[in-house]
Amino acid sequence: MTPAKPRLTVIDTDPGIDDAIGILMALASPDFTIAGIMTVAGNIGLETTTRNAGRLLAFAGRGDIPVFQGAAAPLSRVGPEPLNLHGEDGIGGVALPDPARLPESQHAVEWLADFLLGEPAGTVDVLALGPLTNLARLVLEQPEAARRIGRIIAMGGAIHEHGNVGPCSEFNLWADPEAAAVVVESGLPLVLIPLDVTRRVRATRDFVETLAASEKPMASMVASLIESYFEAATNRESRPLHDPCVMLYALAPELFRIEELRLCVDTGGSDAAGALAIDPEGSPVQVALGVDGSGALHLLARCLSAGSTSASIG
């Protein structure tokens, strides 16, 4: 059987330690052709998320992939304060090189629209790892281009799980509820990867040690990133590998159980802002509600250990 042609992929991200793991996984895998990385404010401010995207590409020896700055703030609300858990540099203090090139001058949303209009409809996937402000602006400002997206695979939301920001809200949707509502209601082919599955994909100490022992720079770099992502030295498992689950779904959807749910997003002013609700009047969305956590970790390790990039020794 001929291998599937690598999918043209755009990553929309707020790196962020877990974003960084997902990005390195995608860069290490021949199944992704990364056309560009778009950045958004979220885990930390836009300048830092953009710098971190450039640092990850420099480490992976992929200075050929452009970085485009996107939204510095949500559509209509004040943006979130930086999350301490990603560290002052947003990347857990892990030793990464400086960016090899500056971000492009074109805004991410304008670039994505031009890119989508230049490629055959349905051939470009967007992997969304942060607040959905950039995608929402594309839907609102460039709807013809937005309709050409093949798939949006987005980490966000919580269905039956409690939130990680307030009782029901997950950070990416909470950070810009209006943007989340625009994307969910857009009718675009959206696969949502919520906390219901990402909380079941956590690295163990043994997993990290195996990666660290690898001769592959990508694997040992991810080991360092995960090491900085344990909640305490005594913890046997890392924080959830939220964003890598987006790449894992793109590579192996069979690891996930998907259901179509009709959803709406709370855009009110209470602590439920950004929360998802199942509503018969809501928009149909493919939602991952189950995952083979062990299979996901094995696939992550395989991608990183097979990593064929010219990654520098960080």
Interactions with ligand RIB, residue window 29-88 (CB under 6 A): 42-43
Q: Is 242 a catalytic residue?
A: yes
Tokens 């990183």 correspond to what residue? 304
8-state DSSP, 237: E
226 binds ligand RIB (CB under 6 A): no
Q: Is 16 in the site for Ca ion (CB under 5 A)?
A: yes
Q: How far is the CB of 198 from ligand RIB (least distance, A)?
A: 7
Q: Strands 256-265, 276-278: parallel, antiparallel or unpaired by DSSP?
A: antiparallel
* Residue 163 engages ligand RIB in binding (rule: CB under 6 A): no
170 touches Ca ion (CB under 5 A): no
From residue 139 to residue 158, the character string flagging contacts with ligand RIB as x (rule: CB under 6 A) and all else as - is ----------------x---
Is residue 32 within 8 Å of residue 281, measured between CB atoms? no
Least Å from the CB of residue 229 to ligand RIB: 10
Q: Tell me, letter by letter, the H, E, C secondary structure of 92-114.
A: CCCCCCCCCCCCECCCHHHHHHH
At position 97, the amino acid (one-letter code) is P
Find the largest Cα–Cα distance for the chain. 53
The option from ligand RIB, Ca ion, none interacting with 170 (CB < 5 to 8 A, set by class) reads ligand RIB
Catalytic residue among 86, 107, 162, 242: 242
CB 242 within 8 A of CB 25: no
Residue with Cβ nearer Ca ion (52 or 267): 52
The answer to whether 314 and 59 have CB atoms below 8 angstroms apart is: yes
Per-residue binder mask for ligand RIB (CB under 6 A), 4-23, x = binder:
----------x-x-xx----
Q: Fill in the DSSP letter of residue 86.
A: G
Q: Cβ closer to ligand RIB: 27 or 145?
A: 27
Shortest spacing between CB 27 and ligand RIB, in angstroms:
17
Q: Which of residues 242-281 bind ligand RIB (CB under 6 A)?
A: 242-243
**Segment 88-127, which members bind ligand RIB (CB under 6 A)?**
none
Which residues, other chains included, contact 250 with Cβ-Cβ below 8 Å and sequence gap of 6+?
Answer: 7, 9, 31, 32, 125, 127, 151, 153
Of Ca ion, ligand RIB, none, which one sits near residue 52, judging by CB under 5 to 8 A according to partner kind? none
Query: Closest Cα to residue 194, out of 125, 135, 278, 112?
Result: 278
* Selected binder of ligand RIB within 49, 142, 169, 172 (CB under 6 A): 172
Q: Which of 129, 221, 247, 287 binds Ca ion (CB under 5 A)?
A: 129
Partnered with residue 152 across adjacent β-strands are 126, 190
End-to-end Cα separation, the chain, in angstroms: 37
Catalytic residues: 242
